[in-house]
A and B are shown apart, each in its own frame.
Chain A
Amino acid sequence: MSTTNPPLPEFDIDPRAFRTLADAQMGVELDTGDMILNLGPQHPATHGTLRLVVRLDGERVIAADPVIGYMHRGYEKLVEFRTYPQITTLINRIDWLSSFANEVPFIDAAEKLMGVEAPPRAQYIRTILTELSRISTFVLFLGEMGLQVGALTPAFYGFRDREHVVNLIEAVTGGRFHPNFNRVGGLKDDLPWGWVNETRTVLKKIYDACDTFEDLVAGNEIFHARTKGVGIIPPEIGAAYGVSGSNLRASGVDWDLRRDGAPYLVYRDLDFKVWTHPDGDSFARYWVRLQETRESCRMVLQLLDALPSGPIMAKVPRIIKVPEGEVWTEVENPLGQMGYYVFSKGATGPFRVKIRSASFSNVSILPWLLRGVFVPDVITILASLYFILGDIDR
């Protein structure tokens, strides 16, 4: 019953050539004028202020041009006027859903430049908190995707279950959204009393929540009809556009920086499965993130069992001066590959930092992906790519 997308032409970027295909497709001789529709910047389907200028022929999209920059805070300029502790407070505002995971690569870069190594307990707690912020982002996505496709209820389940995880992060770091808990050389504080057992009960709840989402959304035939075969990203074109993370793994690319890239934190001592899906459509992206949420729960349980004791802060001078040099650190953030290229000239702050955020490239494939697609499918594809505006605009 689900009509698949029309056969997309071999990759090219000239919409003019596509226009004839759209007409031939519709078999409409009379030349109807195109309608320019503005999706956003105030629109419920764009997670924030993304504006999509769409040229429609009837309900079918001929060309889509995302307009971004409404949330541009100019991080790369701000960073040049701040010291390292001040920057950690800033960068966890880039991808504000998994904010702890933003701080880790930058602190890792500073520690590499200074030749400082955070003690094992700090590494373990950092990995736990990164995986917890991944769980909180994905649980929200599992509910949010249902909302974009029309089902109101999963969104509330998503927020309800995510609340437990966010409370856990707040109990440790003090901040629900902006933990600012990383310091060069370790962490600001240790875990509060009874936190480990509390985390185990919460992980049990998240595990059950995943089953609920499996039945309510992933198993629903209407959801299949709306997402299967919609917005297919071929692996080689996805990689050429820099799409990373679950979006690329959903197209069958078995690539996860936690396992493959340069070793960071304690992912090397964990055994976890990298989930991929052959189809590369919106359903595959939902399915991959659902499995990755479960995988993260298992990983945090392993980490909690193997949590070493000991100090959480290495010996680091009070005023941090990072020696001269350049370093590139990349990590597997919930949204994809996040990396910092830090140029330092030996001052208390970096000379220049290139922030490679995942959603920027994930969204740059939209003009290619949205050609010949129905309007409701545009919303499905936007939801399945799962980008955060702060991540796009920096």
Chain B
Amino acid sequence: MSALSFAVDIGWGTTLAIKTLVILMIVPATALILGYTFLLKMMSHMQSRLGPMDPGGFHGWFQLVGDGMKFMQKEDIMPAEADRRVFAMAPMVVVVSTFLIFLVIPAGPDIVVKNLNVGVFYALAVSSLSVIGVLMAGWASANKFSLLGALRAAAQLIAYELPLLLAIVGVVIQASTMNLQGIVGAQSTGSIFGFDGLGNPYILTQFVGFALFMIAAQAELTQTPFDMPVAESELVAGYMVEYSGFRFLFFFIGEFGTAFAFAAIAATIFLGGWALPASWGLSVGLMRFVGPAVLFAKIMFVAFLMFWVRFTYPRLREDQLQALAWKVLIPIGLLNIVATAILKVAM
């Protein structure tokens, strides 16, 4: 708890205040970074165009910040027959789940808001909160398109909770702990058949789990090829149709914040999180500074994979999506757990 008290001894309350302030700033900042690098620049270069160049001078870095301000001063329209309170609450619920995920993600040896023993379990449980927010948004906007979008989103998010969890169970068995710091430690100290120069990132041994997790995360974030709820060419903007101004900004931050959160979970669990292999012998003090940078690099790599898929593939139909989840991903997930368990015992 007193981890952050370098020179001066600050009380319990202030550390908590600092931590919440950091989290409150991180989520919009990560949404901006992710949105800018991938949605604006990478996507445009993949489509042989330049993307924003003018705003902010160098390569249009100010574009998303400008967008954010634009949304803030835009008029916040609420449809006449909308269910006012539920309509207003919906974006909050969606964004809250993003903030909660960041509580458990470790960025350094002792840089974590709350090092829960059931870290992974908590993160995934909280991430499914957004389903309720999406349903509230879809229902409250009294618009046929948003209703369709919300129902699709509900079916999809629930269907993909299972593969998400099953992908993690393999890792938990191998690391024999659910505490995220523990998993990071296990990966950095572990070794593959005696060679421990690279530690034991679970992406190597748990590759099936990693693929499963990435597919399920893509579906959780309603990104192509699973973006039926927000299918631009069918439902225009799915459950976000009736939102504008500040509330739409919440949805935007929610979307990219969750993308960053899921990338963070994937990086922590499969790529060894903030730690570099123990055999490289870096001191804890140094890791306190290098840790976040390493974590950020790994997150950007995982996010690159996610957005790369998003800008290349067409979209599946929901019945195919459900069939994929129940008939393909979940069986593979179970097999993966059985295999890991057997190997765990045999080793």
Contacts and interface: CB of A to CB of B under 8 A. Distances in A.
Contacts, number: 87
B77 interface: no
B312 A226 contact: no
A222 interface: yes
A174 to B, nearest CB: 27
B318 A157 contact: no
A225 B48 contact: no
Nearest to B225: A222
A59 B318 contact: yes
A148 B224 CA distance: 13
Nearest to A42: B236
A45 interface: yes
Given A3-B319, A222-B314, A376-B228, A150 B233 contact: yes
A222 B309 CA distance: 12
Interface in A208-263: 216-217, 220, 222-223, 225-226
A150 B227 contact: yes
B320 interface: yes
Contacts of B233: 44-45, 147-150, 379, 383
A152 B144 contact: no
B311 to A, nearest CB: 5
Interface string A41-66: 00111000000000000010000000
A45 B234 contact: yes
Interface in B48-93: 48-49
A384 B43 CA distance: 25
B6 interface: no
Interface in B21-68: 43, 46-49
B317 A377 contact: yes
A223 B314 contact: yes
Interface string A193-219: 000000000000000000000001100
B324 interface: yes
A306 interface: no
Contact of B312 (A2, A43, A216): A216
Contact of B314 (A59, A157, A217): A217
B297 interface: no
A43 B328 contact: no
A86 interface: no
B334 interface: no
Contacts of A220: 313-314
A226 B315 contact: yes
A1 interface: yes
Contacts of A3: 319-320, 323
Contact of B316 (A160, A222, A375, A379): A222
Interface in A114-164: 146-153, 156-157, 160
B228 to A, nearest CB: 7
Interface in A1-49: 1-3, 35, 37, 43-45
A375 B313 contact: no
A374 interface: yes
Contacts of B313: 150-151, 220, 222
Contacts of A374: 317-319
A153 B224 contact: no
B9 interface: no
Interface residues of B, number: 31
Nearest to A375: B234
B46 A226 contact: no
Nearest to B236: A44
Given A1-B323, A1-B328, A376-B231, A150 B236 contact: no
A1 B327 CA distance: 9
A160 B44 CA distance: 13
A147 B224 CA distance: 12
A157 B47 contact: yes
Interface string B322-333: 011001100000
B224 A150 contact: yes
Given A1-B323, A44-B233, A225-B320, A152 B315 contact: no
A151 B320 CA distance: 17
A151 B224 contact: yes
Contact of B48 (A150, A157, A376): A157
A153 B316 CA distance: 16
Contacts of A375: 148, 234
B48 A156 contact: yes
A150 B319 contact: no
Contacts of A59: 148, 318
A353 to B, nearest CB: 36
Contact of A225 (B47, B311, B317): B317
Contacts of A149: 233, 314-315
B48 A151 contact: no
A151 B227 contact: no
A376 B145 CA distance: 12
Given A44-B232, A44-B233, A150 B315 contact: yes
B148 A152 contact: no
Interface in B286-312: 311-312
Nearest to A230: B317
A37 B317 CA distance: 19
A146 B224 CA distance: 12
A150 B225 contact: yes
Interface in B143-190: 144-145, 148
A156 B317 contact: no
Contacts of A216: 312
A119 to B, nearest CB: 41
A310 to B, nearest CB: 41
A225 B316 contact: yes
A377 to B, nearest CB: 7
Contact of A379 (B148, B234, B320): B234
Contacts of B315: 149-151, 222, 226, 376
Contacts of B317: 225-226, 374, 376-377
A153 B228 contact: no
Contacts of B224: 150-152
11 contacts: A3-B319, A43-B236, A148-B233, A150-B233, A151-B313, A152-B43, A156-B47, A156-B48, A223-B314, A226-B315, A376-B317
Given A1-B320, A148-B233, A156-B47, 13 more contacts: A3-B319, A35-B144, A43-B236, A44-B233, A59-B318, A147-B233, A151-B224, A151-B312, A151-B315, A153-B311, A216-B312, A226-B315, A383-B233
Interface of B: 43, 46-49, 144-145, 148, 224-225, 227-228, 231-234, 236, 311-320, 323-324, 327-328
Nearest 7 CB-CB pairs, A to B? A150-B315, A156-B47, A150-B314, A149-B314, A151-B314, A45-B233, A148-B233
